[in-house]
A and B are shown apart, each in its own frame.
Chain A
Amino acid sequence: MATSRSRDGGAEWQIATVSSVDDESTRVKLFTLDLPDERAKAGFFAGQYYDLRLTAPDGYQAQRSYSITSSPDDPGSIELAIELITDGEVSSYFHEFVEVGDKIELRGPIGGHFTWLPMITKPVLFIAGGSGIAPIMSMLRHHASSNSTAPALLMFSARNEPDILYKDELERMADADQNLALILTLTRGVPDDWRGESRRIDKAMVDQSISQLVGENNLPDRAYVCGGSSFVESIGNYLLDVGMGHNDVRTERFGP
């Protein structure tokens, strides 16, 4: 299974063109990159990422990885969600300088373990913290566009309400799809009319999401957890505690 899955775009650097830049929250911008044709044909799996490389006029370079947030249905262009990290070398360049029409050097798609495919029809739990929604967004969009009947639940933690990336789209997807449930939680205060959770994801919340997804005393077949390192670490631990198998818990860690 692994070999047939490595739809890796090979190691070659390509030049993509920025076709849109949008503010998604105060700290996250969405960038659409149009890929060169031959790249686009290869396609990608939801959950994969690209390596981006910036080069200064004197030759100095910096590379970072960014997850594809768009669905594999439209392989000709990819969307990235880049969070501004204070003093971040690459993210701050994207936030300050990158405009429509700019050329960006990249290579990918890369990664194969943290991927979801529509042929997976068993219940799946998604848990995202902050910009960790990025690769999961691609999976959820693909889940929707492929009319997947796999029962899915997204538990998504953000600081404040305006920080919930893709809030409208996620709510629309969950409303339209009886196979997708959504649990939002805010960790730094909630608005008056808030109907979601209001604390960091803890064991009780994970238990609750699992019973909502598969019923008491059952476990989902797969979990995808993405976010900061300590977020992923603690949630990975809960999922092992409740009895999920090591290989059924897929993780991606974005930073400290």
Chain B
Amino acid sequence: MINNKFFGRRRPEPPRPIPPGQYLEDGFPVLSAGPTPRVDTATWGFSIEIEGNTVGSWSWDALNALPQTDLHTDLHCVTKWSKLDTAWRGVTIDTLLNDAGVEVPTGFVMAHCDGGYTTNVPAADVIDGKGLLVHTYDGEPLAPEHGGPVRLLIPHLYLWKSAKWVRSLKFMDQDSPGFWERYGYHMYGDPWREQRYTGD
């Protein structure tokens, strides 16, 4: 449906295409369903569970002692903004699985966070370098409102999948909906296919 008098502001023409329905944002908006939880790195820990068994757990120091990966990537939030060329540092999920000495799981994974947030993705979407635990943004410690000390980053999916304040990944056979997914957000969330809500 055309809105005749609408021409749009067409902010800075993106240097490369961005997904449909998105616009470029220079800032870094904060969207969370609740307040920013208090997380202390002294007591922070992260664990991976496969089919109900904890196969690995890491303290803040242990996470930082693992091989680190730098990632430059674009971000796409379901609330319509995209942000290009963000710089992150952290540990790939591959590195964690390798450190735990387990085979790469198949099926699905649920991320669990401080504050109770959860989100689900296929296991294949966090391996092969596609998913990281990040603690550094733009050369600085990741700010609490952006998910610090540690958030998940899965930049090829809408940003709600990149769970803030992540504390564990639980791999499972069956897919099940996380926090926003239960409210009708898409189970997969591919921005290029504009999978915002159930049925997209």
B30 touches A2 (CB 8 A): no
A115 vs B19: C-alpha distance in the bound complex, in angstroms?
29
Describe B's contact surface by its main secondary structure: loop
The interface-forming segment of B31-39, B68-76, B87-95 is: B31-39
Question: Contacts of B116 on A, CB cut-off 8 Å?
Answer: 246-247
B10 contacts A2, C-beta separation under 8 Å: no
Q: Any chain B CB within 8 A of the CB of A56?
A: yes
Q: Of the candidates B10, B11, B32, B197, which one forms a contact with A251 in the assembled complex, judged by CB atoms under 8 Å apart?
A: B32
Chain A at the B interface: SS class? mixed
A6-B183, A11-B197, A11-B200 known; A56-B34 Cβ under 8 A: no
> Assuming A10-B198, A112-B183, is B33 touching A251 (CB within 8 A)?
yes
B34:A250 contact, CB within 8 angstroms = yes
Q: A15-B1, A103-B1, A110-B197 are in contact. Are A6 and B182 (CB under 8 A)?
A: yes
The distance from the CB of A127 to the nearest CB of chain B, in whole angstroms, is: 12
> Using an 8 Å CB-CB cutoff, how does the interface string of B13-44 with A read, 1 for contact, 0 for none?
00000001101000101111111111000000
A110 near B184 with CB under 8 A, answer yes
**A26, CB-defined interface residue at 8 Å:** no
The reply on B98 being an interface residue by CB < 8 A is: no
Q: Does B45 interact with chain A (Cβ within 8 Å)?
A: no
B8 touching A56, Cβ below 8 Å: yes
With contact pairs A97-B5, A97-B6, A256-B27 given, residues A111 and B79 touching in the complex (Cβ less than 8 Å): no
B contacts with A, residue count (CB < 8 A): 41
Stretch at the interface among A76-84, A170-178, A182-190, A233-241: A233-241
B46 sits at the interface (CB 8 A)? no
Q: Which residue of A lies closest to B115 (CB)?
A: A246
Q: Which among B6, B20, B79, B196 has the highest number of chain A CB atoms within 10 Å? A: B6
| Cβ contacts A to B, 18 pairs, < 8 Å | A2-B183, A8-B198, A10-B198, A10-B199, A51-B196, A60-B7, A87-B9, A89-B8, A93-B5, A97-B5, A97-B6, A113-B180, A113-B183, A233-B30, A233-B36, A237-B36, A247-B115, A249-B35
- Across the A-B interface, the 8 shortest Cβ-Cβ residue pairs: A236-B35, A8-B184, A112-B183, A11-B199, A89-B9, A2-B182, A246-B115, A11-B197
| Residues of B that sit less than 8 Å from A by CB | 1-11, 20-21, 23, 27, 29-38, 79-80, 114-116, 145, 179-180, 182-184, 196-200
